[in-house]
Structure 1
């Protein structure tokens, strides 16, 4: 659902997405890591989502975008490929994208 919401206006602008999941209750923890393919795309993404409610979700929560400590696709892949989350459900792993299509999960 998160990717569908993003793809309405920003399909093909990101190459890495990870939505952390609380494996006990099978819900997301309230934030995601998204790497844009170019820094120039960040402004439009920020203007579209920051401070906005997630209208498609039954929630009063508001999106708040911030720069992550880990920057860039290669650094994100390196960080997560050795994470314990890689031993969890494959559907909950970070996803790599090429263009607008999912290319692979981080392995």
Structure 2
């Protein structure tokens, strides 16, 4: 989708999620909620561009939101419309995790290069 109409894609490595859940048991107040995402916000189009570049594939064309709506299932369109930029400040302030993958882009680049 065009950058001006794009939504965010939020990522967290499974190992990081497991560690954060463990930290919640010992460091968080009861019934506290945390946004568990990596520390590098990225829009969906940027994410797909990054994947294409890593795997030497052509970039996905950037089209209007209306064109995407016509091309994807209603469930996928709903998911794309509901995706928001999530901030993980509370998680870092209160739980102080050391993320294995603080950036999905960098983590994926490391995997591809090995």
Q: TM-score, normalised by structure 1?
A: 0.26
More helix by share: 2
Instruction: Specify the structure having the higher radius of gyration (Cα).
Output: 2
More strand by share: 1
Greater RCO, 1 or 2 (C-alpha within 8 Å, sep 6+)? 2
Q: TM-score, normalised by structure 2?
A: 0.25
